[in-house]
Structure formats: structure tokens, C-alpha cells
């Protein structure tokens, strides 16, 4: 998507957007339109903070930041510049207007199905930008022209994605999925906010993710105690990423509301015993 001698705008909101910048620099020039790294990625940049180039080849965002627990809840306004997003960790969590995007790509492994499949939604007019210098397998045009069958596809992974899509439809579609995801997140964030500071959320409230809830306790020892007791109680995988520390509860589409309610019950009990 980046023609020769052109520049692309990247908005850095976490680890995966930083990785995207590293890869983009292999093929062209990158302009960092905004970054919240100096604040340990606790929020999404405001519109008036974006230093966008109206001549940029595209603007790239990562919609959900799994490590830091932040999420774009509204697309940035980018004018006529194509908007590109990595939606790997929140795709299918709600209905989105694909017309606002030039390209959406996402790995299946969080909300769609098993690892090993990537979904790409691309505006047809952008296929002509593909450089002949790209490796054949890395060219979207290759896969479009061959109906995603240029190589032997991950048939089992694609089959499972089909089953997941039917499951979402049975629940009532993406609007129902979004309603459920909001309810789950509200239960967990409500517990954190009502704890009187015993639990402290990492992300600013208007940037909070519906998929990954990150929070800390007063001391690292107390966090280790909670993780150990939670694991013993059946709540596994709560340890936060090493770059943030603390705890992280990932409540993707498949995680049931009852599981969130049980976790909150455990958290309240833990606070009563340790506050």
C-alpha cells in the first residue's frame, strides 16, 4: 500500500502498533502521527493530538491493545487518506462500518477461531498499489486473484471460523455480541472502580478495552498472592504482561458473562481478606 517515495502515518498505542511500524519501515518512510508510549500506553490519543499528513499513503491504527488494555472506540478522522487497521484482538466484538476503512486485517486467534488464519477486508481500488517487488505470498492481489487458494489454505481453521460465525449469528449477531461484551466489561470495571483504590485500572476510562481489562494492586507481593489464589480457584492466566505488570483479565467473545461474575466475586472476597 506504500508507493515509492511516499510516507505512511502510524498511530502508536501499544506493542503491536510498534511492531507494525518496524515492519513498515522495511518498505517505506513512516511518520509517527501520535504515540502515548510516554504515558505507558494508558490511553488512546485524542483527535487534536494527531499530526496527520494529508498526503500520506495511509493511516494505520491497532484497534485494541491487549497488553495495556486500551481500545479505539471511534475511528480517527483522517480525511481522504485511506485508513488501515489491525483488528486482530477485537474483530467481531461489535459491528463496524467497513466503509470507513480502506483495509482491515486480523488474525483469527482471539475472536474468530484458531491461530493460523488471517481475515483481510480490502478496498478493491487499493489492490493496484501492490508493488511488484513484494514477495508473491505477501501481496494481497495474489490472494484476491486466486480466491484465497494460491497456496493450500488452513481448511480446518477456516471451517472453525465458519462455526464461530454461525454461533455469533445464533446469539443475535454482532449487535447482541457487543451488548454482551459491554455487560461483561461493565461488571469487571465496576468492581475495580468500587474497590476504593484496592484495585487500580491501568487504562484511562474513556480508553478502556472491552476485551482486555488491566489493573494493579498496591504491591507486587499482593498481586502475586492474588494470582496464586486465583489460579487455585480456577481463574488462570491473570498475570499481566511483563511490560505493565499487575493483572490482566482477557474477556474475549467466547468468555461467558458468568465467568466474569465469578471472577468479580473472587476479587471482592480477596479484597475483604486483604484490605
Q: Which residues are catalytic?
A: 16, 86, 110
- Mapped onto helix, strand or coil, the DSSP state of residue 112 is coil
Backbone angles phi, psi at 34, to 5 degrees: -170, 155
Distance CA 207, CA 72 (A): 7
Whether 1 and 82 have beta carbons less than 8 Å apart is answered as yes
DSSP lists the bridge partners of residue 60 as: 10, 84
Classify residue 102 by its DSSP letter. S
The C-alpha cell 505488570 sits at 245
Q: Other CB atoms closer than 10 Å to residue 245's CB: what's the count?
A: 15
Distance CA 133, CA 139 (A): 9
Task: Choose among 3, 207, 14, 211: nearest CA to 93.
Answer: 211
Between the CA of residue 250 and those of 131, 210, 233, 247, 254, what are the distances in Å?
38, 9, 17, 10, 10
Q: Other CB atoms closer than 10 Å to residue 151's CB: what's the count?
A: 11
Backbone angles phi, psi at 206, to 5 degrees: -80, 0
Amino acid at each position: 500500500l506504500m508507493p515509492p517515495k511516499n510516507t505512511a502515518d502510524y498511530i502508536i498505542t501499544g506493542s503491536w502498533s510498534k511492531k507494525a511500524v518496524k515492519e513498515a519501515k522495511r518498505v517505506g518512510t513512516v511518520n509517527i502521527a501520535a504515540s502515548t508510549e510516554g504515558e505507558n500506553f494508558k490511553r488512546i490519543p485524542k483527535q487534536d493530538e494527531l499530526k496527520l499528513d494529508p498526503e500520506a499513503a495511509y493511516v494505520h491504527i491497532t484497534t485494541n491493545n491487549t497488553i495495556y488494555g486500551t481500545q479505539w472506540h471511534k475511528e480517527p478522522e483522517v480525511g481522504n487518506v485511506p485508513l488501515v487497521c489491525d483488528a486482530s484482538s477485537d474483530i467481531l466484538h461489535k459491528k463496524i462500518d467497513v466503509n470507513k476503512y480502506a483495509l482491515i486485517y486480523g488474525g483469527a486467534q482471539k475472536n474468530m477461531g484458531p491461530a493460523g488464519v488471517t481475515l483481510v477486508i480490502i478496498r478493491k481500488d487499493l489492490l493496484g498499489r501492490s508493488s511488484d517487488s513484494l514477495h508473491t505470498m505477501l501481496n494481497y492481489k495474489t490472494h484476491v486473484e486466486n480466491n484465497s487458494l494460491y497456496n493450500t489454505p488452513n481448511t480446518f481453521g477456516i471451517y472453525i471460523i465458519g462455526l464461530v460465525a454461525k454461533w455469533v449469528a445464533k446469539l443475535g449477531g454482532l449487535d447482541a455480541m457487543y451488548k454482551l461484551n459491554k455487560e461483561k466489561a461493565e461488571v469487571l470495571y465496576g468492581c475495580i472502580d468500587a474497590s476504593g483504590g484496592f484495585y487500580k485500572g491501568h487504562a484511562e476510562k474513556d480508553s478502556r478495552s472491552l476485551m482486555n481489562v488491566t489493573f494493579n494492586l498496591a504491591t507486587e507481593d499482593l498481586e502475586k498472592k492474588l494470582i496464586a489464589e486465583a489460579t487455585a480457584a480456577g481463574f488462570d492466566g491473570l498475570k499481566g504482561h511483563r511490560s505493565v505488570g499487575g493483572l490482566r483479565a482477557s474477556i474475549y467473545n467466547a468468555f461467558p458473562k458468568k465467568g466474569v461474575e465469578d471472577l468479580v466475586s473472587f476479587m471482592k472476597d480477596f479484597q475483604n481478606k486483604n484490605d
